[in-house]
């Protein structure tokens, strides 16, 4: 029986044989590479307990642990400092927001008072009799113009009050 004819008809067997050969070669290379490689992971398996190399490895681990512990302690101290600074900043921000809210409330009160005063002056300028005597048509026309200016001023104050109130609402929300 000719082997080339046999393998020619059984391609799957040939492919399986090639794959098995490659896998065996890779595993053999990995075995020799790791067994003789100078890495810490595989050298610890070959070191004898209480030997100089073992003690050095142990001291390295202890040194790394202490360094990590000190670094964590330093980070904890820094975290505590940052947390304290954050709390201080929150208090300062809260105080600042309260002062802004108080300023806006005072501004609203001032604008409301100005609006009420300007609206209270409107009827005075529209009166036909002033100081016990009849007003002239020129005085009446001047009073109407003044009253119209006071109305416009009152509307402007109303718009400012609306804007200040919306700012006060946002201030109360912390924005």
Pair (29, 71) in one structural domain: no
Alpha helices in 11-136 (DSSP H): 11-36, 40-46, 52-126
pLDDT of residue 116 exceeding 60 = yes
Pair (4, 90) in one structural domain: no
Pair (42, 57) in one structural domain: yes
Tell me which of 175 and 101 has the higher pLDDT: 101
Three-state SS for 134? Answer: strand
Tell me which of 166 and 135 has the higher pLDDT: 166
pLDDT of residue 44 exceeding 70 = no
Q: How many folded domains does the chain comprise?
A: 2
Pair (108, 137) in one structural domain: yes
- Token pair listed for 62: 């202890």
Integer Cα distance of 27 and 33 in angstroms: 10
Q: Give the pLDDT score at 175.
A: 47
Pair (165, 130) in one structural domain: yes
Q: What is the pLDDT of residues 51-99, one digit of tens each?
A: 666 678 778 888 999 999 999 999 999 999 999 999 999 999 888 888 8
Pair (58, 93) in one structural domain: yes
Its domain, for residue 161, covers: 38-172
């Amino acid at each position: 029986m000719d082997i080339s004819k046999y393998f020619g008809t059984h391609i799957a067997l040939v492919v399986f044989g090639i794959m098995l050969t490659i896998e065996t070669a890779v595993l053999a290379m990995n075995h020799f590479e790791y067994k003789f490689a100078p890495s810490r992971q595989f050298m610890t398996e070959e070191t004898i307990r209480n030997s100089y190399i073992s003690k050095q490895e142990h001291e390295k681990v202890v040194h790394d642990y202490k360094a990590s512990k000190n670094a964590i302690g330093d980070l904890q101290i820094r975290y505590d400092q940052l947390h304290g600074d954050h709390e201080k900043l929150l208090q300062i921000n809260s105080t600042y927001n309260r002062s802004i809210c108080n300023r806006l409330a005072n501004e609203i009160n001032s604008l409301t008072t100005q609006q009420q005063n300007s609206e209270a002056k409107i009827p005075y300028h529209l009166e036909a009799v002033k100081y016990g005597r009849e007003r002239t048509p020129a005085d009446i026309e001047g009073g109407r113009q003044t009253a119209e200016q006071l109305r416009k001023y009152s509307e402007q104050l109303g718009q400012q009050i609306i804007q200040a109130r919306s700012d006060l609402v946002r201030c109360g929300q912390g924005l």
